[in-house]
Structure 1
Amino acid sequence: MLALLASLVIAPLTAGAQGTDPENTLYLDLKDGRVVIHLRPDLAPNHVARIKKLAREGFYDGIVFHRVIDGFMAQTGDPTGTGRGGSSEPDIKAEFSSTPFKRGTLGMARAASPDSANSQFFIMFADGDFLNGNYTVFGEVVDGMNHVDSITRGEPPANPDKIVRMQVAADAQ
């Protein structure tokens, strides 16, 4: 009985441990609530560094989700809202990995060149194995996926949802 009780207490602690590093956790505040994202510098250190830099500058605050495809993904990170814009930072070389694109995975959007990621990213609504090895995985939603599911659909949406605020958890107040 004691072993069962211990397993019930310890299992949730270890399951949530991956998202406890505040320096590698993002808070993505949407109209419906907060999404907690575990960043993966072990997979894509340069992409994670870029996302954190831009988040710390307030770059993502107020940016719309310009491409939201039901059953696929929600894309954001373009200050022009057209899907063609980016930050003033240089593009990043691809950091492809064998980590699969599953529901809740965050990937970097890019143009035709594998080395053209900049500031745009997407969050998967469903598994997308056809993206594996072709786009950089840099994080995963660990809480609040229901808020991602509530993002208004469209290409572009008629009345797009915006990022209210995105911040590195270590900086949150």
Structure 2
Amino acid sequence: MRFVAALAAVAAIFIAVPAAAQGGPPPPKPVIDPLEGVGVEGTTRVPIVVPADPENTWVLDLSTGGRVSIRLRPDAAPKMVEQIKTLTRRKFYDGVTFHRVIDAPESMAQGGDPTGTGGGESDLPDVPAEFNNLPHARGAVSAARTQDPNSANSQFFIMFGPRLGFDHDYTVFGRVIYGMEWVDKIERGEPPANPTRVLRAYIASDNPPPYQAAPAPAAPALPPGETKATLPQ
């Protein structure tokens, strides 16, 4: 009888385990990470942390009042990134204006023309199209071109908002990672009445100095023999 009782006790334990499992809390739901999506059930996925890459970080000091940092993407557009880096180190972009700045539907600021007219470019050869899967989302930096897909050179545009109709038609080669508030302040117009300028452009690995604001405009010269107090109001 003791042997039978022992078997009954063991059976009760095995029967109780699944019953307890059925009556316990439900299995944990998949953890959703904003950067990584759905994780493995019951686990937390670690967000992707992209390491700093100073050699592929483009720095633009704008006359709107601050510094903009752009993560270049040589993995997606190696030729355009190399063109941008070469021109930047030649100081080509220093002083260049944003000559075409429009809101919806295009929603972008275009610059990179040394003449400020939209018809100029650098003396480097044009860059062939490198259309890729990077979207024209807010902050995307893309290569401007003519009707010829292989005519990108020095001009670029920064997106204020998404314009996915540009995807696979223009070459995205970077994205703003810091200072988008200064991009938003770029003067609008075609051309703007008082265009925003790139004061200085750098590649971050070249150890740029801190941002320096544009000098205040000089006061207009007074006519000979007159003082400020005698000028008409």
Q: Confirm or deny a common fold (TM above 0.5).
A: yes
The CA distance in 1 between the partners of 2:179 and 2:103, in whole Å, is 17
The superposition leaves residues 71-123 of structure 1 with CA deviations (integer Å, 9 ceiling, x where unpaired) of 40000000000001000011110000121100000000000000000000000
The residue correspondences of 1:117-128 to structure 2 (distance < 5 A) are 117-128=152-163
The superposition leaves residues 124-166 of structure 1 with CA deviations (integer Å, 9 ceiling, x where unpaired) of 0000101000000100000000000000000000110100111
Secondary structure of the corresponding residue to residue 76 of structure 2? coil
Correspondence for 1:75: 110
The residue correspondences of 1:22-171 to structure 2 (distance < 5 A) are 22-31=54-63, 32-71=65-104, 72-171=107-206
What is the TM-score when the length of structure 2 is the normalising length? Answer: 0.67
Segments of 4+ moved more than 3 angstroms: none
Secondary structure of the corresponding residue to residue 51 of structure 1? helix
The CA distance in 1 between the partners of 2:207 and 2:186, in whole Å, is 23
Secondary structure of the corresponding residue to residue 101 of structure 2? strand
The CA distance in 1 between the partners of 2:159 and 2:131, in whole Å, is 16
Residue 144 of structure 1 aligns with an amino acid whose one-letter code is G
Aligned length: 160
Secondary structure of the corresponding residue to residue 79 of structure 2? helix
Secondary structure of the corresponding residue to residue 198 of structure 2? coil
The CA distance in 1 between the partners of 2:127 and 2:56, in whole Å, is 19
Which residues of structure 1 form unaligned runs of 5+?
1-10
Which residues of structure 2 form unaligned runs of 5+?
1-45, 209-233
The CA distance in 1 between the partners of 2:159 and 2:143, in whole Å, is 11
Residue 60 of structure 2 aligns with an amino acid whose one-letter code is L
Secondary structure of the corresponding residue to residue 164 of structure 1? strand
Q: Percent identity?
A: 56
CA-atom RMSD, angstroms?
Answer: 1.3
What is the TM-score when the length of structure 1 is the normalising length? Answer: 0.89
Greater C-alpha Rg: 2
The alpha-carbon deviation at position 70 of structure 1 amounts to 1.9
Moved more, 66-75 or 125-134: 66-75
The CA distance in 2 between the partners of 1:122 and 1:166, in whole Å, is 15
